[in-house]
Amino acid sequence: MNTNKLDYTLISIILLLGIVSVFTLYTVEPTLPAKLQGQNFTEKQIVWYVGGSIVIALIMLIDYDRFRQLTWVLYGVGMIMLFMLFLRRFFGLFSAIIPNVKGAYGWFSFPVLGTLQPAEIMKVILILALAHVMYVHNQKYVTQTTKSDLWLLSKILIVAAPPMGLIAVQPDLGTFLVLSAITGAMILVSGIRWRLIFTIILITIGSVGIIIAAYFLFPNTIAVFLEESLFKHVSGRFYGWLNPEQYSDSGYQLIRAMMAIGSGQLFGKGIEMMQVFVPERHTDMIFTAVAEQFGFIGSSIVVTLFFLLIYRLIHIAIQSNDSYGSYIVTGMVGMFAFQIFQNIGMSIQLLPITGLPLPFLSYGGSSTLTYLMAIGIALNIHSRTKSYMFE
């Protein structure tokens, strides 16, 4: 590892986001419901950041190309954990270590270690797996043909579909969409010709259009279908997003979030001056705490930090002269960009509410470690990118 080639700008951005996270959690904790009081989320978040920093240091010691040798081992471990959650969901197995959390089965709970969310870790594992598949394929098929492009697309979908399916039935639609964003971003840089990619995009847009048209043409039928499916919670969130005042139960969180953000106005109410109660404010809705305390100005600073984060990752992906490294960082760009846009968008009624945390700000052990692990890999790639005089 060449310490002279560390991306200190990226490190500084993560450090600033960590400071914002810890400070915001400190101000939010007194306003949390009684059942969450005394859990020391601020201290725990500091521990997760320290632990994540150690993980970054360990990752930096290993040449990122070595990850290719561990790809399928990690993928297999991730799939085993997701399959255990599947067995708990439908057959009641492993109930001692897999609790029911608000109707979802997405966490392992251990007496001493705490909780672990395999879907979070699977995000990074999927990025590594798809990058490996794309790298090996493009090394083998130097000359592109329609057949080779279709074969690469098939391999990408074969790798991505199983974890996406197991996560969808937990049910965890939010993480399913993140994995979809990762897969889509990596397909864009996979080398598949654009005419095939545009065909996929048109098919996707057409499918979404059909679903939207079906909803407006047959609203009752669609509502009944969702209520009888695994995704019955989706219909409530969707209706609550479209008309939160009418559907007060499912739209309650959105109404409170909008009130909190709007009450912050331009400069905010000030530190610890939070008068609007918002559920899950220390996790999914932490952006509302920033907006209420520091207003539009403070929120804009946080959004700018996220913009700089995405910019630095794109810079690392472009600068890397190793396609494997570029593929990995591109997947991370897709992961972070989608989650940031979705989380902030759902807080201002731009998008439906999903259970996605805001990267680096929301409280969460598995998510924080996963994001720091991703940053560690990106820093590793940047530090080992060689510059040549005549490229």
Quote the pLDDT of residue 390: 54
Q: Is 357 within a domain?
A: yes
Q: How confident is the model at residue 125 (pLDDT cuts 50, 70, 90)?
A: very high
Q: Is the pLDDT of residue 219 over 90?
A: no
Residue with more model confidence, 312 or 212? 312
**Tens digit of each residue's pLDDT (9 = 90 or more) over 58-86:** 999 999 989 999 999 999 999 999 999 99
- Whole-prediction pTM value? 0.93
Q: How confident is the model at residue 222 (pLDDT cuts 50, 70, 90)?
A: confident
Average pLDDT over residues 132-154: 92
Q: Is 341 within a domain?
A: yes
Q: Is 388 within a domain?
A: no
Average predicted confidence (pLDDT) for the chain:
90
Q: Is 390 within a domain?
A: no
Q: Is 115 within a domain?
A: yes
3-state DSSP of the chain: CCHHHCCHHHHHHHHHHHHHHHHHHHHHHHHCCHHHCCCCHHHHHHHHHHHHHHHHHHHHCCCHHHHHHHHHHHHHHHHHHHHHHHHHHHHCCCCCCCCCECCECCCEEECCCEEECHHHHHHHHHHHHHHHHHHHHHHHCCCCCHHHHHHHHHHHHHHHHHHHHHHHCCCCHHHHHHHHHHHHHHHHCCCCCHHHHHHHHHHHHHHHHHHHHHHHHCHHHHHHHHHCCCCHHHHHHHHHHHCCCCCHHHHHHHHHHHHHHHHHCCCCCCCCCCCCCCCCCCCCCHHHHHHHHHHHHHHHHHHHHHHHHHHHHHHHHHHCCCHHHHHHHHHHHHHHHHHHHHHHHHHCCCCCCCCCCCCCCCCCHHHHHHHHHHHHHHHHHHHCCCCCCCC
Q: How confident is the model at residue 144 (pLDDT cuts 50, 70, 90)?
A: confident
Q: How many domains does the chain have?
A: 1
144 is in which domain, residue-wise?
Answer: 3-383
Quote the pLDDT of residue 45: 94
Q: Is the pLDDT of residue 341 over 70?
A: yes
Q: Is 137 within a domain?
A: yes
Q: Is 391 within a domain?
A: no
Quote the pLDDT of residue 13: 97
Q: What percent of the chain has pLDDT over 70?
A: 94
Quote the pLDDT of residue 352: 87
Quote the pLDDT of residue 80: 96
Q: Is 217 within a domain?
A: yes
Q: 263, 269 in Cβ contact below 8 A? A: yes
Quote the pLDDT of residue 387: 66
Q: Is the pLDDT of residue 110 over 70?
A: yes
Quote the pLDDT of residue 157: 95
**Tens digit of each residue's pLDDT (9 = 90 or more) over 273-296:** 888 999 889 999 999 999 999 999
Quote the pLDDT of residue 94: 87
